[in-house]
Amino acid sequence: MHDIVLIPGDGIGPEITRSVTKILEKAGAEINWIECEAGEETYNKSGTPLPDKTLDAIKKHRIALKGPLATPVGSGFRSVNVSLRQEFNLYSNIRPAKSLPNIESPFQNVDIVTFRENTQGLYIGKEQWAKEGEHAESIAVVTREASRKIITAAFEYAKSHNRKKVTLVHKANILKLTTGLFLEVGREVAKSYPDIEFEDLIVDNMAMQMVLRPQQFDIIVTTNLFGDILSDLASGLVGGLGVTGAANIGDDAAIFEAVHGSAPDIAGKNLANPTALLFSAMMMLDYLGEKTVMNRILSALYRVLQDQKYVCTPDIGGSGNTATYTEAICAALDF
């Protein structure tokens, strides 16, 4: 039995969380959920978006599954997602994007996994006014140690998952010290993995190449801001953020999450798509070593997408809702 912290989140979070936990239970996952709160609704109730009780639970159990959390834009409290990544040094943000049956997209046979350094870069939020209201500055931090950790994680994933190539993305032609260091470390690490092809691309060229021929890419590893952008781009190639999962993994803790928004406009209407959080939960099962359960769920999901698309939620081309989609996946688990 695995003790896992469960954070339903804001907006549609509670609905898709109920869907995913139901599917995992049906599949035979032995999980004891410890439900905790975080996000905007929690802030409105208690004055903090990340209560000590939630932090303490994650510190104790070291693994969490998290729904979407709303974050104010331009003002208000700091992103809970960023706070959690830094609190537990979850340096590796892993975002697979793979073509799915019957999910509309102009691209086919896409299978990309993005590794994003999760604790440094511009996301440390180190900003200041040089001249109040007129001149703002932001500092990006890149260290050799953090770079080595995320790049090594990408190569180790490639090795363990029979992947053939790692592409390191940078802007070392302009940002010579920060992303230049990241590239230097990447070239050093690559020497230890002679059986895996290594290449590096400048980020603007990378963005273009991803929409010209995404099938050429396998594993992508990059810095925090570039990874944030490119992982969303990769999701767009296969149908959007609603169909891709995510993991934040450190040396001794992991948080699995849906990275799409909280969609308050459809909250409570039985229209929310649980696919992204379900993929995140499957990544969690893989992390726990529960590959048999993970593969059962993946097979059931593919059967539903292939043969019962009509039961799916409208955002992925179905005429069903959260409940019909969830029930169909549960039923497919019986075969």
Q: What is the mean pLDDT of residues 146-163?
A: 96
| Mean pLDDT score, 235-258 | 95
Position 124 confidence tier, pLDDT thresholds 50, 70, 90: confident
Give the pLDDT mean for 31-50.
90
Query: Do 11 and 69 share a domain, yes or no?
Result: yes
216 SS3 class? helix
Judge if 258 and 323 occupy the same domain. yes
Beta strands 2-7 and 63-66 are parallel
CB 88 within 8 A of CB 253: yes
Residue 224 sits in the same domain as residue 155? yes
Residue 232 and residue 113 share a domain: yes
Catalytic annotation, residues: 123, 171, 204, 228
Average pLDDT, integer, range 267-291:
96
Integer-rounded Cα radius of gyration of the chain:
20
Residue-level pLDDT at 310: 87
In tens, the pLDDT along 52-84 reads 999 999 999 999 999 998 876 545 566 788 889
pLDDT tens per residue, range 167-225: 999 999 999 999 999 999 999 999 999 999 999 999 999 999 999 999 999 999 999 99
Kindly report the CATH number assigned to the domain that includes residue 185.
Answer: 3.40.718.10
Q: Are residues 331 and 255 part of one domain?
A: yes
**Domain membership of residue 218 as a residue range:** 106-237
Same domain, 254 and 163: no
Residue 96 lies in a domain: no
**Average of per-residue pLDDT across 299-309:** 92
Total domains, the chain: 2
Answer yes or no: pTM beyond 0.85.
yes
The terminus-to-terminus CA distance of the chain in angstroms comes to 24
**Considering the domain boundaries, does residue 266 fall inside one?**
yes
CB-CB neighbours of 1 under 10 Å: 7
In this prediction, residues 91-95 reach a mean pLDDT of 96
CB–CB of 241/84 below 8 Å?
A: no
Q: Are residues 206 and 261 in the same domain?
A: no
Contact criterion met (CB below 8 Å) for 285 and 254: no
The contacts found for 28-31 with CB under 8 angstroms, 24 or more apart, are 28/293, 28/296, 29/2, 29/285, 29/290, 29/293, 30/1, 30/2, 31/1, 31/2, 31/3, 31/4
